Structure 1
């Protein structure tokens, strides 16, 4: 067992009712499917209780199958956004609660002034009690840049909301230096057994990211491997609550 899996799997387990302590929540996802993989259970629990949830999609999601001719970039973007909207509907999130920033997939930048302005404005408009963003050292450059953008946007607010960092690629790809340190976060697991079927149903909406998906003309295209999917079929989700703001 890797050090990351050992760390995440042994964090204290909190009951599903803890989800309600988040209050109105803004979820920031680098790519379509990160919202479901990382925090689909929490989203479902919030919406079951009629707690408002907003979702921000940062990238355009087009780099999953860059060699596809049948699905050129615009078609890939449209397909992945449609999959995201369906996944969110299955989690109980209204279509109007989604904001797409359409930044270039694979090139999300922490110094993107336009994305920063949009994030800051959305935070001011929605005024969430909690913001969900990727783990600051999740081993994907778009994930790290996304959280840096979130931190910069939060710094512009008079009062910052609670921040929870969720895990996606650290399950599979974390180097020892990517594993959270005890002095920087308080980690815990959320019991999502009551929402697990709903989360899996939402994940199934992201068909282009799953084996035997619709984009079948790019042999080098991306899909979520069974070993990766197994982490998100567990009856819990992992959250890391910063003890102090992440460094930009």
Structure 2
């Protein structure tokens, strides 16, 4: 982990949970199936336990985690990952009819200025106008993965006319792949990184992560060179704190 990020995490402060008492609807933006459980699974479970509606958008199809699979096509991989996401969110208390799959191309989600960007913004804006969320959870603006950055850009463009919405950014690949240039912007955040204590939700979050079997075991898609969540990565999400960068309304 980047030493500057480690320092910021060590000096993080607890989130004032009274902020959540004003929330009636939350929208979660996840670039890939598993980001929802890894980055904000504890908060999702907490919100649902409090009766707060949670809608989730997956921006990509997740098909490129195992591109050389011999036993499953890209369509089959997409379907399996969607089913894993549905099961994981079920553990967290989110019903299937609150889940939307945009099915953008994994590892090629269009960023601002690229072809197709406006179309994804329009899709997301339609859901935002329908759901009218008070709180939006989105990947960190400078997360090292391009799909995560593009998801942030799409979300911000869709929220352009919604200044009243609170935006909480969650961390994924910053923990293990973050460079100094990715971390540096966090030093200018007024309240820095803040954390939500997991308490009883820690176990539920871990159970939700376990539903993403294709990302935990290379045998699922039969691609020895495919992606897998190593234990050193998972440990960043199994702890008793979930970290956020909070942009209040």
Which of 107, 127, 133 is the equivalent residue of 2:132?
A: 127
- The Cα RMSD (Å) is 1.8
Q: Report if the CA contact (8 A) 1:16-1:45 is conserved.
A: no
Aligned: 1:178 with 2:182:
yes
- Please list every run of 5 or more consecutive structure 1 residues that lacks an aligned counterpart in the other structure: none
Q: How far off is 1:8 after superposition? A: 2.2
- Is the contact made by 2:29 and 2:59 (CA closer than 8 Å) also made in structure 1? yes
TM-score using structure 1 length: 0.92
Q: Equivalent residue for 1:6?
A: 7
| 1:146 Cα offset (Å) | 0.5
Normalised by the length of structure 2, the TM-score is 0.92
Once the two structures are superposed, what CA deviation does each residue of 1:61-85 show, in whole Å capped at 9, x if it has no partner? 0000000020110000000000000
Deviation of 1:15 after TM superposition, in Å, equals: 6.6
Partner Cα separation in structure 2 for residue 158 and residue 174 of structure 1: 30
> For 1:231, what is the secondary structure of its paired residue?
coil
Higher mean displacement: 17-26 or 102-111: 17-26
Tell me the matched-pair count. Answer: 242
Unaligned runs of 5+ in 2: none
Verify the 8 A CA contact 1:184 1:243 in the aligned structure 2. no
Name the SS of the counterpart of 1:45 in structure 2.
Answer: helix
Q: Secondary structure at the match of 2:187?
A: coil
Instruction: Give the C-alpha shift of residue 113 in structure 1.
Output: 1.8
Match of 2:195 in 1: 189
Deviates more, 1:1-10 or 1:38-47: 1-10
Corresponding residue for 2:50? Answer: 49
Q: Distance in 2 between matches of 1:213 and 1:44?
A: 29
Counterpart Cα distance in 2 of 1:135 and 1:103: 19
Aligned to 1:162: 166
